[in-house]
Amino acid sequence: MTNLYNKHAVLASEGWSWGCHAPEFAPLMAGALVIFCCAWWWWDLKFTKINPPLPPGPLGLPIIGNLPFIKPELHRYFSDLSRIYGPVFKLRMGRVLAIVINSPSLANEVLKVQDAIFANRDVPVSSVVGTFGGLNILWRPNGPRFNQLRKLVICEIMSKQSLDACYVLRQREVRRMVKEIHGKVGSSVNIYKQLSATALRVMMSTLWGDDPSQDLIEFRKRLDEIIVTFAVRNVSDLFPILAPFDLQGIESKAKEQLSWFYGVFESMIKNRRNIRDDGKEEEKISKDFMQQLLELHWRGDEKNSLSINEVKALLLDLMVAGTDTVPTAVEWAMTELLRHRDKMTKLVKELDMVVGNQNTVEDSHIPQLVYLDAVIKETLRLHPVAPLLIPHVPSETTVIGGFTVPKGCTVFINVWAIQRDPELWDDPLRFQPERFLEADINYRGNNFGFFPFGSGRRMCVGVSLAEKMMALLLGSLVHSFEWGLSEGTKPSLEDKFGIFLKKTESLVAIPVARLPNLEQYQ
Ligand code: HEM
């Protein structure tokens, strides 16, 4: 899930140079700047009177707005500003007018009451080229085709039947992870690296089955490259007038990097087509996600069929969105459990009772693992993977919280701040999974105190898969091993704002086998 705000954050963190290199001109330049600013503000106030007014916000500079003052940890920075300006405020980031929402009632207003208005996205220039003009779900504008696509993914690809059919693949890869960790017993394990290799294998085999020609290391490298490209500041997004020049070459880089993925997808699709034309489809191919998407393409009825470019754009969507989100969440959960040994002990007890020490964690155990579920929810409350969701864009001018929110602005919803609000949560900074045992709170986005997957028509389409993956991975790590830390260390909670809210320092822990039979690790 790439998002524009990373570019803003990086731009802000690097700052822009305003220095004049000839000192004798400095007072003159400063004077001219002050006059220019005053004229700009006067013009802005006189000619842009809107009723009701725009939300309050810090003053910015002409043209570049608040960009030089924005701090890189956007979720914290926005949370600090909301203490000054209230639950809805505005900032200018170059051409972009950003509106930030910091309260559950206003999040409800944006994502539920006025959901249809706020269901567009602000598409970065690099993503337009990479998705055939926004043919994927993430960047597609709201409308009938978008609704159809979401429905197809949720009802066909992410259906219970389809996820159950792929369970063997998830189970196989999680077992492989347990075996690998068993080989490192007694030494330090980088938890994120271990989890992300497993999540990538799961996503690859779930999307297109076992294809021995696919090199995992090459895929990881290419994915990391494209994620870095999407995260780099792009002046074209902040000043669209500069977009045709692609000053930083980001657009061409994205094009080139994405064409590698599309080349891989095309050759796999060609293979499937040959097999289908041979009439051997049924015997040779399992119903992985690619096969399901291709069948929708071949089905050919106007309403439900997918174009081949849509198939490729969707594969990329699921690949990028599904690979790093789950490991990020599970690494946070392990960090919290290693900081709160009593909670770890409670979870181990539950796993021993439900799974037993002669078995390994299976999908069928998950509904009974209520404490595991509470641990994951509490982790996502304190460390939501997408702390500002993915920015929404209103398709028409509207009013939120008594202020005008203009058509086309970029709306950030600070779920990170809302999920830590002391008015909603007792002792909000404390890791306390028990709070989810006492209340019936789910991921469906109907509680605006807890919505780590968003809510409404742009809500995450991968919730069901993510839920299963997080439980299987975390359950297996804790059930199969006892985890320790190097002497005198305590895992840090410091986070780093980016495409996903990751830990600043990866978690490193030392496993000890805890299951009685060696076969359970094979
Ligand atoms: C812990 C795991 C995950 C979390 C916390 C998460 C969270 C989110 C959030 C917050 C959004 C944006 C919602 C909004 O803007 O209102 C989103 C969108 C999306 N997610 Fe996830 N996600 C996760 C895993 C996945 C997985 C496994 C997939 C698919 C394989 C996926 C696919 C998507 C897609 C395609 C969108 C774009 C939806 C749209 O724009 O309509 N996500 N996710």
Confidence (pTM): 0.89
Write down the pLDDT at residue 475: 98
Sign of CA dihedral 262, 263, 266, 267: negative
Q: Is the CB of 459 under 6 A from ligand 1?
A: yes
Write down the pLDDT at residue 213: 66
Selected residue with higher pLDDT from 314 and 44? 314
Q: How far is the CA of 318 from the centre of ligand 1 (A)?
A: 9
Strands 403-405 and 398-400: antiparallel
The arithmetic mean of pLDDT across residues 281-304, rounded, is: 72
Q: Does residue 371 have a pLDDT over 60?
A: yes
Q: Whose CA is nearest to atom 17 of ligand 1?
A: 460
Q: How far is the CA of 392 from the centre of ligand 1 (A)?
A: 13
Dist CA 406 CA 99 (whole Å):
9
The least confident of 4-8, 15-19, 274-278, 389-393 is 15-19
Q: Whose CA is nearest to atom 9 of ligand 1?
A: 453
Q: Does residue 132 have a pLDDT over 90?
A: no
Dist CA 380 CA 329 (whole Å):
7
Residue 449: HSE in the Cβ half-sphere, 13 Å Cα cutoff: 14
Domain boundaries along the sequence of the chain: 50-124+387-419
In tens, the pLDDT along 173-190 reads 999 999 999 999 999 999
Q: How far is the CA of 326 from the centre of ligand 1 (A)?
A: 10
Q: Does residue 318 have a pLDDT over 70?
A: yes
Tell which CATH classification among 3.30.43.20, 3.40.50.12780, 3.40.640.10, 3.90.1150.10 matches the domain 50-124+387-419.
3.30.43.20
Q: For residue 43, what pLDDT band results from cuts at 50, 70 and 90?
A: low
Q: Is the CB of 137 under 6 A from ligand 1?
A: yes
The arithmetic mean of pLDDT across residues 496-512, rounded, is: 94
Within 340-440, residue ranges assigned H as helices are 341-354, 370-382, 415-418, 435-438
Selected residue with higher pLDDT from 276 and 423? 423
* Helix, coil or strand: residue 385: coil
Q: Whose CA is nearest to atom 7 of ligand 1?
A: 453
Please give the C-alpha separations between residue 407 and each of 41, 58, 94, 235, 394, in angstroms, as whole numbers: 22, 21, 17, 22, 5
Q: Whose CA is nearest to atom 20 of ligand 1?
A: 460
Query: Does the interface ipTM go beyond 0.90?
Result: yes
Q: For residue 346, what pLDDT band results from cuts at 50, 70 and 90?
A: very high
Selected residue with higher pLDDT from 366 and 487? 366
Selected residue with higher pLDDT from 363 and 10? 363
**Beta-bridge mates of residue 389:** 387
38 assigned to a ligand binding site: no
**Cβ pair 374, 436 in contact under 8 A:** yes
Dist CA 361 CA 21 (whole Å):
65
Contacts 24+ apart (CB under 8 A), 346-351: 346/371, 347/371, 347/372, 347/375, 347/478, 348/478, 348/479, 348/482, 351/475, 351/478, 351/479
**Cβ pair 7, 237 in contact under 8 A:** yes
In tens, the pLDDT along 424-478 reads 999 999 999 999 998 899 999 999 999 999 999 999 999 999 999 999 999 999 9
